[in-house]
Amino acid sequence: MHDLVSDLAKFISKQFTLSHEDDYSSEILSKTRHFSHSCKNIDIKKFAATFHESKRLCTVLKFNFDSSLYRFGIEELGKLTNLRERSLSILDLQNIGSPMDGKDVKYLRDRKYLKELVLEWKVGNNTLESHLIVLESLQPLSNLKSLVINGYGGKSFPNWVGHPSFSNIASLHLEDCKFCCSLPPLGQLPSLQDLSIAGLDRVVRLGCEFYGSESSSIKPFQSLKVISFKNMLNWEKWFSFDVGKEDGAFPNLRNLEIHECPKLTCFLKGGLRAPSLEVFRITKCKSLSSLPDKMHIFFSSLEELYIEYCPEVESFPEGRLPSNLNIIYISNCEKLFARRMRWDLRNLPSVKIFEVIGKSEDVESFPDEGLLPTTLTRLHIEGFENLKYLDKKGLQHLTTLEELKMWNCPKLECMPKDGLPASLTTLNISNYTVDGLEQLQQEPDGCANPAADDGVQYTLIVGDYNDVYKMADAYGASYLKDSH
């Protein structure tokens, strides 16, 4: 009886739900309400002939405009008047020519249920005016909440992208739009919280066009919480909206990330006012010479600071770093590290974690006396090629330090005999050589054997698998660990 009811339910449901995972074998029925496909071997002629005739079709998982679907055309979207999907992805739009009805016809204008929209082109080598017309014709209703535009090949965006009438958009991603020379006025989107901009190769500057019209009564980016810029190959300057104004453009920004923007030279003149910013990460900006001005004032809530592979940055901004900082991470910023005694970290009352990575070829001892804040609980040192010993005077004031990691410091000879803080519970030395471990074991004058029985949990990780067995007798299997 159960099987009979189950079979009957499946038979009836097939009239309303159609899914093609492998091969297309039947047309879309007049009763079909839900359709999805993931196969490539579709009978396009049969598909196109029956698709728009299904007046009750409510849900389509994905539109993929394969080159064989060229004649199906974007116009067919306008015939599916019953679509009720909240999320719609339209892919391979490069295979669609200019709509026959022109850019003034909006094929998604009746999609009142649509909340999330993905529009994707395969990235090409040439800009195409037809992309602009297609994107114009795909303007959704203003109740949209999430928009992704990927691979768009036009030189500019249509007016609807960034228009303040889209008052519900909370998430917007622009990716690999390589021929666009400027950004739309995204600051005018009053509900925008998450903004990602990546791969816009021809954008050179961010200015007033990014924030919106100066005559507008809308204050830009009032709801924005997360913004990231990635792989902006020609971006050079970021101009401020709020110079000389007390109320900035980013009052609720929490997370700012800038990654691989090799020509970016400087930040907003006068500083970026982001009083709620908690995380600031900047990576692989090889031309950047300075960080934003007045960080201790304008980034007053900053808790985490990450600076990686920015070789031209020489110093922190004038004044001091924000007092709420909890994590400081500096990686491969040689000029910045060379001026480390100007960092003025000792006066920061909240720093718990400090990590520094880099070759630092001239450094034989670390940390320098008075360099690190007394509040540290975790210190990570990595990649110091010529580091020979830890500086007792630089460690002795770290009375709350619990964890010390030293990775890829092959010339390390010894630890300070009386200099390791009494609060230390974990010492982690990794990717070490056998010769280096033997040097540590020899206990030169004024140095301590890191395997001494003093209540500290030691982890010694060697670089070669066979080294584990060579050193097991000397250091004990309880704390010698293989890195593989």
| pLDDT tens track for 308-332 | 999 999 988 876 899 999 999 999 9
Domain borders along the chain are 352-484
**pLDDT score for 318:** 78
Q: What is residue 50's three-state secondary structure?
A: helix
Quickly count: other Cβ atoms within 10 Å of residue 247's Cβ. 9
Side chain identity at 3, as an amino acid letter? D
- Measured CA to CA, the distance from residue 406 to residue 366 in angstroms comes to 11
**Average pLDDT value for residue range 69-89:** 61
On whether the pTM is more than 0.85, the answer is no
Grade residue 92 by pLDDT with cuts at 50, 70 and 90: confident
- Better pLDDT: 45 or 349: 349
Q: Which of 48, 91, 33, 89 is nearest to 66 (CA)?
A: 91
**Average predicted confidence (pLDDT) for the chain:** 77
| 77 has pLDDT over 90 | no
| Cα–Cα–Cα angle for 255, 281, 380, rounded to 5 degrees | 125
On the question of a cis peptide bond just before residue 367, with omega within 30 degrees of 0, the verdict is yes
**Average pLDDT value for residue range 170-188:** 95
- Better pLDDT: 65 or 212: 212
Side chain identity at 212, as an amino acid letter? G
**Average pLDDT value for residue range 364-392:** 92
Token pair listed for 392: 């007792």
As separate numbers, helices (DSSP H) first and strands (DSSP E) second, the chain gives 9, 26
- Better pLDDT: 252 or 12: 252
Least confident of 28-37, 144-153, 305-314, 347-356: 28-37
| 103 has pLDDT over 80 | no
Range from 63-77, 185-199, 378-392, 460-474 that averages highest in pLDDT: 185-199
Token pair listed for 239: 């101009």
Side chain identity at 459, as an amino acid letter? T
Q: Which DSSP symbol is given to 464? A: S
- Better pLDDT: 57 or 298: 298
- Better pLDDT: 407 or 18: 407
Quickly count: other Cβ atoms within 10 Å of residue 54's Cβ. 20
Grade residue 59 by pLDDT with cuts at 50, 70 and 90: very low
Grade residue 158 by pLDDT with cuts at 50, 70 and 90: very high
CB 111 within 8 A of CB 90: no
**Average pLDDT value for residue range 202-213:** 89
| 227 has pLDDT over 90 | yes
Report the greatest alpha carbon distance in the chain.
89
